[in-house]
């Protein structure tokens, strides 16, 4: 059976009419999809570039050690913790051979997602008392190492 040119045109027109939209345009139902939330591991790297997840202790800088960290919102764009800074340089005099400490609040942000993990890129440390002790290092804002993508 051979179709003439007009027959092919009719078949083609019939096929294409099923591909159009209904009268009134395209119908959309439900909410638009959102981005898929991050579900991989999240790390912060200490000053030696060792990745840590929810660390209870870490060396933030060469002279700033954070200890007894209790984290909230780990893995979110902004994680916060309370803990203490340890005076390993003994600028406080190291009474009884023990380094001095003071309570701080730590905020990590700048979450950067990589292929298999995410890393915080910025830390800020503030004393919880009205002012830090005289011997406290001015930590303030610290840029953290984040591996290249």
Residue 11: per-residue pLDDT: 60
Q: What three-state secondary structure class fits 101?
A: strand
Strands 42-45 and 118-119: parallel
Q: Which of 52-61, 64-73, 80-89 has the lowest mean pLDDT?
A: 80-89
Retrieve residue 134's tokens. Answer: 């005289």
Q: Is it the case that residue 145 has pLDDT exceeding 70?
A: yes
Residue 37: per-residue pLDDT: 59
Report pTM: 0.68
Task: Give, in order, the Cα–Cα distances in Å from 103 to each of 82, 86, 120.
Answer: 7, 9, 22
Residue 114: per-residue pLDDT: 86
Q: Is it the case that residue 124 has pLDDT exceeding 80?
A: yes
Arithmetic mean of pLDDT, 89-96 = 64
Say how far apart CA 68 and CA 104 lie, in whole Å: 10
Residue 18: per-residue pLDDT: 56
Q: Which of 16-25, 86-95, 130-139 has the lowest mean pLDDT?
A: 16-25
Q: Is it the case that residue 73 has pLDDT exceeding 90?
A: yes
């Amino acid at each position: 059976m051979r179709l003439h040119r007009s027959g092919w045109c009719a078949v083609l027109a019939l096929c294409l009419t099923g591909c159009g939209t209904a009268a009134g345009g395209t119908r959309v139902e439900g909410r638009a999809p959102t981005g898929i939330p991050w579900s991989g591991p999240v790390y912060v790297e200490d000053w030696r570039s060792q990745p840590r997840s929810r660390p209870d202790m870490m060396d933030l800088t060469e002279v700033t050690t954070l200890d007894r960290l209790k984290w909230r919102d780990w893995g979110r764009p902004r994680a916060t913790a309370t803990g203490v800074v340890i005076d390993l340089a003994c600028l406080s005099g190291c009474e009884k051979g023990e380094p001095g400490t003071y309570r701080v609040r730590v905020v990590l942000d700048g979450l950067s997602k990589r292929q298999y993990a995410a890393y915080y890129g910025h830390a800020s440390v503030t004393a919880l008392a009205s002012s830090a002790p005289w011997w406290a290092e001015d930590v303030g804002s610290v840029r953290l190492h984040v591996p290249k993508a």
